[in-house]
Amino acid sequence: MNDLRRMACWLALLVPFGLLGGALVSQYLFGLPPCEMCWWQRYPHGAAVLLAVGAFAVRSDLLVRLAALAILVSGAIGGFHAGVEYGWWEGLTRCATDALAGGDPLEAIMNAPVIRCDVAPWSLFGISLAGWNFLISGVAGFAILALIGRASTRRNTKLTGMAV
């Protein structure tokens, strides 16, 4: 595996792993429970981590590309979510709750706080968590694809002897 491919694999692994870690830290250490759209952003990142691990195991450009695509999907969902938070467009009509198991389930559901998708619970420099996911995932996803594309171009150049 050449250096560009290795760098792409590491990005495909570390970016979604870091973003998922940040989401979990914000949830469990800082008390920011996720809304429905926050959950949607986590699923593609989880898939990207698994795909990147697979790419390391079998040295597959296809798995790295799929991981990059999953990262871009999460970023697109983050962009949509940020737009809902900023009031640029309508979001979902349903919201998530943070009902804990144990005791009377109906009472837990009835007393659980509603987590709104259209309210950013935290921001840095005026950018919400969903907005940061959009920015980071977009840059990382395209960087991974560019690295793999560049690595493929170099391989083709070496095989044909012609610069592309």
Question: Could you read off the pLDDT tens digit of each residue along the chain, which spans 164 residues?
Answer: 578 788 888 888 999 999 999 999 999 999 888 888 888 999 999 999 999 999 889 988 889 889 989 999 999 999 998 988 888 888 775 555 555 555 677 776 677 667 777 777 777 798 888 888 888 888 887 778 887 777 666 555 554 444 44
Amino acid at residue number 156: N
Q: What is the pTM of this model?
A: 0.75
Counted domains in the chain: 1
Name residues whose C-beta falls within 8 Å of residue 133's C-beta, 6 or more positions apart in sequence.
19, 41, 74, 75, 77, 78, 81
User: Do residues 102 and 108 touch, judged by C-beta distance below 8 A?
Assistant: yes
Dihedral (Cα; 69, 35, 133, 42), 10-degree rounding: -40
Cα–Cα distance between 114 and 78 in angstroms, integer? 20
- Which residue range(s) make up the domain with 89? 3-160
